[in-house]
Amino acid sequence: MYIRRVSTRSNSTGESYFTHRLVRTELVADRVRQVTLLNLGRHFAVAQEDWPSLCPRIEENLTWIKAQGYWVFRPIVTGRFGNVTGHFGNVTGDSGGT
CB 3 within 8 A of CB 54: yes
pLDDT in tens, 27-61: 989 999 998 888 888 888 888 998 998 888 877 77
- Domain extents in the chain: 2-73
Global confidence as pTM = 0.62
| Beta carbons within 8 Å of 13's beta carbon, 6+ residues apart | none
Of all residues in the chain, the percent with pLDDT exceeding 70 is: 62
In three-state secondary structure terms, 84 is coil
